[in-house]
Amino acid sequence: KAGVTQTPRYLIKTRGQQVTLSCSPISGHRSVSWYQQTPGQGLQFLFEYFSETQRNKGNFPGRFSGRQFSNSRSEMNVSTLELGDSALYLCASSLRGQGASTDTQYFGPGTRLTVL
């Protein structure tokens, strides 16, 4: 069974540009979450999607947005990039999502975004 895949793996952008990252969950998984990882702040939750609906959102500005498609694939978009957006962006998928205490989250390899 294929794991969580993320594309692209590496991305270099300049300030002010926008970027779209993609995540394909494990087949059958309906929940997709996004995290930002930086050396200073560690891993921080961005948002979670379940069955095409955003179920939870972290404390990030509105420049960060996402969506989920009917096949559970998810994209996140960052507009008007800032230097501080440079980070490893990780997505995670899980099977049952809501209310399942046994639900293990499986992470993809991440997209390394560098903003110049």
Torsions phi, psi for 45 (to 5 deg): -75, 130
- For 69-102, the DSSP string reads -TTS-EEEEE-S--GGG-EEEEEEEESS-TT-TT
Q: Give the nearer residue to other proteins in terms of CB position, either 65 or 88.
A: 88
Binding mask 3-22 for other proteins (x = CB under 8 A): -x------------------
- Burial label for 75, CB within 10 Å (0-12, 13-18, 19+), is middle
Residue 110 near other proteins by CB under 8 A: yes
From the CB of 100, what's the least distance to other proteins, in Å? Answer: 8
User: Residues 32 to 51: which contact other proteins by CB under 8 A?
Assistant: 33, 35, 42-45, 48, 50
How many angstroms separate the CA atoms of 34 and 66, rounded?
9
Site residues for other proteins per CB under 8 A = 4, 31, 33, 35, 42-45, 48, 50, 55-56, 58, 88, 90, 92, 94, 97-99, 101-110, 112
